[in-house]
Amino acid sequence: MRIWVLILAIIPQLGFSQEKTQAVEMIGQLGNRTALLVLHSTRGADGALHLTGEYIVLPALQRRFVDGEASPEIGVTTLREGTTPILFGREPTGELRGSLRGGTFKGVRYGPGGQERERFEFSEEFPAMSGYSAAVRCDAGDAAYASSLAYVVDEGKLKSLEWRSTLALTGHTCSIAGAEQRPFKGGLQVRSGRCRVTLRDLGDYVRVSAENCTERCGSQAYLEPLLVDRRGGCRLLRPEAR
């Protein structure tokens, strides 16, 4: 699974571009649990936003898919949730109702019977990593995909980074090494041409993801996001729905 992607913005309060598709990720709390939220947005004929995506509860990696609408004026938002990407015709596991404005989504999660379960609040503001230090060398994968990652960070300064993946079926690979660190709010980021590798602090994990790195990959290869734990071990960000 790739932790995918995109919001096409049309709500001025959200601060998104009206003409660009871009990745939007939010970190926050679902009750007393930390969660990562990823949304996708399209504009309807009536001006409303249709939203799809998922949230992942950390550290258990419990995954829920969401689908719903947000009003264009004040960001009032209702998202049905379920255990599969296709929610139409399926019984929801819950519903998130709240306000999506100014880079923040907050409100209440309800159970399938309409009972209030827990409050939530997500924000595009991720923790700074200026004090982060680590020396990581780890491998992750399965029968179809293998990934190896190595990096050294000293007080927020990325000293080295190497990331390689191999697709077992074709043997195609991706390889990134020696990228240049750039100023980045809410994490650490290195760039090489259009290719960007970003580290984000998720609390129990550091998430490592790549964007626009196709020139570093074979035609069928890719770089799946990785989660690095506090001991320096890593795993694919490919949670199972439960």
Average pLDDT over residues 143-158: 96
Model confidence at 239, pLDDT cuts 50, 70, 90, reads: low
CA distance 61 to 220: 27
The pLDDT value recorded for residue 123 is 97
Q: How many CB atoms lie within 10 A of CB 117?
A: 15
The rounded mean pLDDT for the chain is 86
Please state which CATH class domain 6-123 belongs to: mainly beta
Work out the percent of the chain whose per-residue pLDDT is above 90: 70
Examine the pLDDT at 242 and tell me if it is beyond 50. Answer: no
Higher pLDDT, 17 or 186: 186
The pLDDT value recorded for residue 184 is 94
Model confidence at 23, pLDDT cuts 50, 70, 90, reads: low
Q: List, in order, residues 6 or more apart from 83 with CB less than 8 Å away.
A: 63, 64, 65, 93, 241, 242
pLDDT per residue as tens digits for the range 153-183? 999 999 999 999 999 999 999 999 988 999 9
CA distance 16 to 36: 19
Burial class from Cβ neighbours inside 10 Å (0-12, 13-18, 19+) for residue 242 reads exposed
The pLDDT value recorded for residue 141 is 93
Tokens 């029968």 sit on residue: 143
The pLDDT value recorded for residue 8 is 28
pLDDT per residue as tens digits for the range 81-106? 998 887 777 888 999 999 999 899 99
Examine the pLDDT at 20 and tell me if it is beyond 70. Answer: no
Highest mean pLDDT among 17-21, 115-119, 191-195: 115-119
CA distance 66 to 96: 9
